[in-house]
Structure 1
Amino acid sequence: MSATGIAAPEAPSWPARLLRGIRHDPWSAIAWATVAFMLVFVAWPLAELARQSFIGQESGRFGLENYQTFFGSSYFRRALFNSLTVGVLGTVIALAIGLPLALAFARYDFAGKPWIEVAILLSMLSPPFVGAYAWIMLFGRSGLVTEAARGIGIELPPIYGAFGIALASAFALYPVVFLVVRGGLARVNRTLEDAAASLGRGRIGVVRTVTLPLILPSVLTAALLVFLGIISDFGTPSILGEGERFPVLATLAFSLYLSEIGAEPGMAATTCAVLVVIAMALVVAVRIFSTRRSVADDTGGGAPPIRLQGRAGALLGFGTAVLVAIASTPQIVVTVCSFLEVRGVVFQPVFTLDNFARAIDALGDALWNSLVFAGLALALIILVGSAIGYVIARRTGPLTRTLDLLIMVPYVVPGTVLGIGYATVFNEPPLLLTGTATIIVTVYFVRRLPYMTRASAGIVYQIDRGLEDAARSLGDPPLTGFRRVMAPLMRPGILAGAAIAWVEVFSELSASIVLYTGGTRTLPIAAYQQALSGDVGMAAAYATMLVGVAAAGLVLFVIARGSERERSLGWL
C-alpha cells in the first residue's frame, strides 16, 4: 500500500495481456496460429518421412542404405524412369493442346467461343483417373473402339502403359495450360507483335520471336503445374499402368507402404523422399530459369481480341470445338456409358438405369462422407484461406514469408506422400487420428488451402489500402473492418478460390486412398475401386455421379457471383 493509503493497481495477468494483444493485432495471432498448425500437419509428417528414409530397411541403422537399395535396384529405377517419362510426355501433349487454344481465345473472337470455353472449364471437373477409365472403355482390351476395329480385322495397340497414362493425364490437365497461358497473353501488348509483323515476320515467326518470349514465365508455370500433377497422380497410373506392370513412384510408394504396415516404412519413405526432391528441384529450376530468361513488357495490357467474321471465324470456331470435343471424350464416354446396359464387360446400345441402381445399393456412406468431408474442409479453406491471403498481401517480414512457404508446400508435395506421412505420424498418441474423419478433413484442408490463399491474396493486392484506413479512422477494430470492408471487396477472389478448391477437394483420391477406412470411404474411392474391380457399369455410374455432384457445386458458386455478366464460368 502506498503512503497515501491508496493501493497500487495490479499488473494485468499474462492471459489478459495476451487477449489484449490479440484484439489489438489479430492478424499476427492468426499468422502464428497458422504457422503452428502447418508445422504440425505439414512439416512434421514430411520431416518424419525424411528421417525414416535414412533408417535402413534391413539393418535398422541410420545411413544411406535405403537410397543405395533404391538406385541399385532395376525395379526402382524403372519406376523413376516411368514417372519422368509419363510426366514429360503428358506435359508435351497438354502444351500441344492448351497453347493453341490459349492463343486462339486471347487473340480472337469467333463463333461459339463462350460455349467452347465453358466446355474447357467443365473438363476440369473430371478427376484424371476417370479419364483413364474412359480410355479403357474405348481402347482397352474389350473397349468399344477396340472391338469395332477387331471386327473389321484391325488390331489396335493397347492403351495401357506410358502413352495411355500420359494421354489421359494430358487431357485432364490441359485446361491448366489454357488458363495460365491465356492469362499471360492478356498482359502482352499486341503492338509489339504488330511491329514485328510490319518488319516482315510471318505469323509463326512473330509467335516464336515475340509472343513466346513474353509469355515464357506463364508457359513454364503451366508446364510445371502439369508435370507435378502427372507425377503425383495415383489413380491414372494405377488403372492404366495395371499395377506392377508399369510402376511409377506414386503407385510404388503406396504399394511399399501397404507392404510395410507394422514395420518401419523405410523404402516407402525413401520413394516419397525421391518424389519430393524431384518436385522441389523442378520448382526451383523453373523459378531460376524464368527469372533469367523472361522478357519484361512494360508497355501496358493487351488490346481487345480481333473479331473474326465469315469463313475465318467459322473455321477457327470449328477447329477449336473439334479439339475440345476430342479432349472432352472421356467425360462424354463415361456419362453415356453409365446409362447403357452391360453384358459381361461389353456395353450394349440399350438405355438402362440399372447401373445407377446397383451403384446406389453398394454405395453405403461414400457419397454422404464425400459431401460432409468436402463441405467441412471447404468451410475451413474459405475462412482460413481468405484471412491468410489478406495477411500475405498486406504484411511483410519473416513471419509472412514462413507462412507463405508452409502453405505452398502441400501444393508441391504429391498427395500420396502427404497421406503416407499422416499415416506414419498420426497413428499413435499424442495425435491419434488415423482411421478418423478428422484426418481426411485435415488432409483435404491442407492440400487445397493454397488455392484460396492465392486467390484471396491476388484480389487484396488490387484493393486500395485507403479503404481500410478509413474504416480504422472510424474506430472499427481490425476484424470488424475486415468483415465490413475487405470481405465484400474480396468476394470475387474468394468465390473463385472456393470454386476451384471445391472441385479439387470433392475429387481428391491420392491422399485419401492411403488414409481411408471402411467408415470413411468417399465417392472417389468407391469409383476407383469399381474401376479396378472390372465392373464397368457401376464404375461408369460412380464416375458420372462424381462429376455431376462436383458440377452442381460449381454451378452454386457461379450463381453466387450474382450479376448476369459474372454468371459465365470465365471468372474462374
Structure 2
Amino acid sequence: MLGRGALLAALAGLLLAPWYGLENGVEDLASWPAGVAAPLVALLLGGDRWWLWPVVGLVALPVPALLAGRAPGRLLAWCGLAIMALVFAQGYAIGLHGAALPLLGTLPPQAALGWGGSLVVGGGIGLLAAGFAAQGRFGGDAFIALLVTGSAGLLLLFVFVPLATILAAAVLDEGHFAPGALIRRLSAPEAWSLACLSTHQGCGVVWNTTLLASLTATLSTLIGLAFALLSTRGQVRAQPAFRAMTILPLITPPFVVSLALIVLFGRTGLLTTALWDWFDIPRSRWIYGLPGVLLAQVLAQAPIAFVLLEGAVRAIGPSLEEAASTMGARRFTVFRTVTWPLLRPALAACLLLAFVESLADFGNPLVLGGDFDVLSTRIFFAIAGARNDPGRAAALALLLLALTFGAFALQALWLGRRKYTTVTGKGDSGVAAPLPRGLKFACGAVAWPWMIFTAAVYGIILVGGFVRDIGRGDMSFTWRHFLTGFEVEWLDGPAFRGSAWDSLFTTIEVAAISAPLTAGLGILLAWLLARQAFPGRRTLEFMTMLSFAIPGTVVGVSYIMAFNLPPVELTGTMLILVICFVFRNLPVGVRGGIAALAQIDKSLDEASATMGGSALQTLRRVVLPLLRPAIVAALAFSFVHAMTAVSAVIFLVSARHNLATVYIVGRVEAGEMALAIAYSTVLIVVMLVVVLGIEKLVGRAQIGRRVVGA
C-alpha cells in the first residue's frame, strides 16, 4: 500500500507538477505544461535536461513488481534511496550558472526544485520506507518506517545541511577551499584581543560574549533561586506576583526590556534626569555597554530560572530533610547538606539555559551594546553590513557554536554520574523544612527589590505607548503611536492603514502555521523515540536536539547560506520562516512529549497491539488523547516563540514577509522609540491572552503533600 502511494506521488511529480520552482507563484502556472511551469517529462521530451533521464528510469524500475503485488523490499529501498540521491546530486552539481564542476562541461543553467522535484523526493522517501518494512525492519510496520525515514530526511535537510553549509563556508575563500582562511578568521584579533586589560580599547568578542553569558547565568540563577526558596519555603503570600513575573518575560519580545531601560537610564531617561535635577549627578551613558546588556538579559532569564528551580525545590522529598532534622541537624545544616546538593541538577540546567540564551541573544546587545560587541551582533553585521563577508560570519558562528557545546560539556562534567532521585513510588507526606532565618532574610533582600525594579521596567513598557515622548519626559496622553502603527479606516470595509499591520498579520500567520507543525512533528518524534525500538534511534534523538544547541544567530546565518541557491531555494519566502520556527522549536515538543509519555504505562500500547491495533491506530486512539496537555503546551510554546523570536529570523525576513520583532528593531534604529514600545504593548497583550488561555486549559499539577499548620 505504501509502495504504491509513493509511486503515485513520484509519477505526479514527473508528469504533472512543475519540476522547477515558480518565480512568480501561481501566475507562472498559466504556461503549463510548457515554459517555467513544465513538468519533467515535458522538459525531457523537448530535448532539454537530458541528465534527468535516470530519475525517470529509477521511478519506472519498481512499477512492474508493485503492480504485480510482489515487489522485493531491497529493490524498493535501493530505488528510493537512489532517487533522492540523484535529484539532490544533480541539483547541487548544476545550478543557476550551469555546471558547478569543470568536468561536467557546458550545461544549461537550472533553477531550484519545485513541486515536481519535491513530489519525486517524497516518493523516494516512501519507496525507501516501504522497502524497509517489506524487509521486516521497524517490526514490518510501514507507518513506523515512514515516520522514521521521513523525519530523518527532514532533519537532515533542515538541521544538518544548514550546519554543514556554515562549516563549509568557513573554510572557503572566494569559492575555493582554503584552510588557512579559516585559521585566520578563527584567530583574528577581533575575536581574541585582550587590549582591554592594558588600554581603553575593547576586548575580543569571544571574551566579551563569554563574560556576559557567565555573568547572566550566575546572576539570573541566584535571583531565581531566591524567588524559588521564598515561594516554596518562605511562607510568603506573594504567589500571584511571583507567577506574573514568570509570565511577563515569556510574552515579551527579547529586546523590549532594553527599550524600557533606555527610557529609565539613558542620557535623557526619567531616572537620569531626576538624579541630575535633584542631586546634580551628571548624565552618563553607562547603560550602553556591558552593564545595560547584562541587566536586560538578567531581567529576561531570572523568571525562567525561578520556574525551573521552584519545581525542583517542590520535588525534594521532605522526609529526607526531616530525617536530617531528627538526627539533630540545624536548619542551615539541613539546607547545606540535603537541600542544596539535591538542587544541583536544576541549578546546572538554569546555568546552562541562561548561558546559552545569552549567547544567542541578539536584540539586547544590538539596542544596548554600544561599543561592547558580542558574537551575535558581529555575525549580523558581517552579513548585513556594508562589507558582506559570509566566510567571516561563518567563522564567528563556529566560535559561538563552540561556546555552546562547551557549556553543555561543563554541565555534564559538573553533574557527573551521581543520582538525584527524590520522588519514588513510596508515600511522602512530610512537611518541607522552613528556610533558615538568615537565608530567608538574604533571599528577601534580593527578591523584593528585584520585584519592584521588574515592575518599574514593565510599567514603562505599559505606559510608554500612551504618552507623547516618555524618553524625554513628555507624559501627556496620546493615541498617536497606536494610530501610526494600527490605524483602521472604514472604506466599504475595514482598511488597515497603520504601518505595523502587515508585519503583525504576517507574524500571526507564520506562528499559526508553524505552531501546529512543530507540536505535531514533536509529538510524533517523541512517540517514536520513547515507544519504538529501531536502529539509529539514538542518532535520530541527537539530531532532534541539535537545533536546541545551536544559537539562533547561527541558525539564521546557516539557513540563508544553505537555502539561498538551488537546489533548495527558499530565501525571501514565508516558507523559510515557517521551517525555521518548526525546527528551531522542535526540541521542546520532543522533550515535552517524551516526559508525558514517561507517565503513560506501556501496557496500554501493548493492550492495543494485543487487540489487533496497528501502530497508527494505537497512536491515534490511545496515545494522542492521553498526550493532550503536552500537545497544548507545545502549541503554546511554539506560537509564543514564533511571535517573539528575532535572532534567527532577522536574516530571513523580506520586504514582502516582515515580522513584528524585526519591524520593532527597525523602529528603534530609526529613533521611533515610542512607536516601538506601543507595538510591543500590542504583542504583549496578544501573548498574554494566548498564555493565560493555555494555562487555563491545561491547569497545573498538584502534589498532595501536607502544608505547615494542616
Return the TM-score normalized by structure 1: 0.88
348 and 301 in structure 1: CA distance in 2 versus 1, 3 angstrom threshold: farther
Structure 1 counterpart of 2:375: 249
Structure 2 counterpart of 1:441: 578
Q: 1:268 aligns with which of 393, 411, 415?
A: 393
Q: Is contact 1:93-1:167 (8 Å) kept?
A: no
Structure 2 counterpart of 1:48: 165
Structure 2 counterpart of 1:170: 298
Deviates more, 1:495-504 or 1:17-26: 17-26
Q: Is 1:240–2:368 an aligned residue pair?
A: yes
Structure 1 counterpart of 2:458: 331
Deviates more, 1:389-398 or 1:223-232: 389-398
Structure 1 counterpart of 2:485: 359
37 and 563 in structure 1: CA distance in 2 versus 1, 3 angstrom threshold: closer
Q: Is contact 1:385-1:452 (8 Å) kept?
A: yes
Q: Is contact 1:116-1:321 (8 Å) kept?
A: no
1:109-145 alpha-carbon deviations (Å, 9 max, x no partner): 5323244223323332113211111111111111111
The one-letter amino acid of 1:444's match is F
302 and 229 in structure 1: CA distance in 2 versus 1, 3 angstrom threshold: farther
1:200-234 alpha-carbon deviations (Å, 9 max, x no partner): 55444433332221111110111000000001111
The one-letter amino acid of 1:281's match is G
145 and 485 in structure 1: CA distance in 2 versus 1, 3 angstrom threshold: same
Structure 1 counterpart of 2:247: 121
Measure the CA separation in 2 of the matches of 1:549 and 1:305.
40
Question: What's the offset of the Cα at 1:433?
Answer: 0.4
Indicate the SS of the match to 2:416: helix
261 and 402 in structure 1: CA distance in 2 versus 1, 3 angstrom threshold: farther
Structure 1 counterpart of 2:472: 346
Q: Is contact 2:556-2:649 (8 Å) kept?
A: yes
Structure 2 counterpart of 1:406: 543
Measure the CA separation in 1 of the matches of 2:544 and 2:701.
34
Q: Is 1:37–2:159 an aligned residue pair?
A: no
Q: Is 1:527–2:656 an aligned residue pair?
A: no
Question: What's the offset of the Cα at 1:333?
Answer: 1.3
Question: What's the offset of the Cα at 1:155?
Answer: 2.8
Structure 2 counterpart of 1:561: 698
- The residue correspondences of 1:131-170 to structure 2 (distance < 5 A) are 131-152=257-278, 153-155=280-282, 158-170=286-298
407 and 108 in structure 1: CA distance in 2 versus 1, 3 angstrom threshold: same
Indicate the SS of the match to 2:474: strand
CA RMSD of aligned residues (A): 3.1
- The residue correspondences of 1:151-230 to structure 2 (distance < 5 A) are 151-152=277-278, 153-155=280-282, 158-198=286-326, 201-230=329-358
Measure the CA separation in 2 of the matches of 1:550 and 1:412.
25
Q: Is contact 1:390-1:456 (8 Å) kept?
A: yes
Q: Which has the higher helix share?
A: 1
Q: Is contact 2:223-2:446 (8 Å) kept?
A: no
Measure the CA separation in 2 of the matches of 1:189 and 1:180.
17
Q: 2:594 aligns with which of 438, 457, 464?
A: 457
Deviates more, 1:199-208 or 1:447-456: 199-208
Greater RCO structure (CA 8 Å; 6+ sep): 1
- The residue correspondences of 1:388-537 to structure 2 (distance < 5 A) are 388-537=525-674
- The residue correspondences of 1:59-138 to structure 2 (distance < 5 A) are 60-74=176-190, 77=193, 78-138=204-264
Return the TM-score normalized by structure 2: 0.72
556 and 189 in structure 1: CA distance in 2 versus 1, 3 angstrom threshold: closer
Question: What's the offset of the Cα at 1:451?
Answer: 1.0
Measure the CA separation in 2 of the matches of 1:63 and 1:225.
33
Measure the CA separation in 1 of the matches of 2:431 and 2:667.
46
Measure the CA separation in 1 of the matches of 2:431 and 2:651.
47
Measure the CA separation in 2 of the matches of 1:565 and 1:179.
15
Indicate the SS of the match to 2:302: helix
Q: Identify unmatched segments of 5+ residues in structure 2.
A: 1-66, 77-125, 194-203, 487-497, 704-710
1:440-495 alpha-carbon deviations (Å, 9 max, x no partner): 11101110011111111100011011222222333333222212211111111222
1:399-429 alpha-carbon deviations (Å, 9 max, x no partner): 2211211111111111111111111111111
Q: Is contact 1:110-1:307 (8 Å) kept?
A: no
Deviates more, 1:224-233 or 1:86-95: 86-95
The one-letter amino acid of 2:70's match is P
The one-letter amino acid of 2:409's match is V
Indicate the SS of the match to 2:647: coil
Structure 2 counterpart of 1:18: 130
Q: Is contact 1:106-1:186 (8 Å) kept?
A: yes
Measure the CA separation in 2 of the matches of 1:391 and 1:292.
27
Indicate the SS of the match to 2:613: coil
Measure the CA separation in 2 of the matches of 1:384 and 1:367.
26
The one-letter amino acid of 2:182's match is N
1:241-291 alpha-carbon deviations (Å, 9 max, x no partner): 03xx2210001011112248776x211110001111111121122113212
The one-letter amino acid of 2:694's match is F
Measure the CA separation in 2 of the matches of 1:446 and 1:421.
13
Give the percent of matched residue pairs that are identical in Structure 1 and Structure 2.
27
Measure the CA separation in 2 of the matches of 1:50 and 1:98.
37
Indicate the SS of the match to 1:32: helix
Question: What's the offset of the Cα at 1:382?
Answer: 1.5
Measure the CA separation in 2 of the matches of 1:424 and 1:156.
44
Q: Is contact 1:123-1:328 (8 Å) kept?
A: no
Aligned residues: 550
The one-letter amino acid of 1:267's match is R
Structure 1 counterpart of 2:46: none
Indicate the SS of the match to 1:534: coil
Q: Is contact 2:255-2:363 (8 Å) kept?
A: yes
Structure 1 counterpart of 2:708: none
Q: Is contact 1:129-1:239 (8 Å) kept?
A: yes
Q: Is contact 1:108-1:307 (8 Å) kept?
A: no
Q: Identify unmatched segments of 5+ residues in structure 1.
A: 1-8, 567-572
The one-letter amino acid of 2:592's match is A
Q: Is contact 2:130-2:142 (8 Å) kept?
A: no
Measure the CA separation in 1 of the matches of 2:379 and 2:176.
19
Measure the CA separation in 2 of the matches of 1:426 and 1:79.
28
The one-letter amino acid of 1:51's match is A
Measure the CA separation in 2 of the matches of 1:39 and 1:366.
31
Indicate the SS of the match to 1:520: coil
Structure 1 counterpart of 2:519: 382
Greater CA radius of gyration, 1 or 2?
Answer: 2
Indicate the SS of the match to 2:627: helix
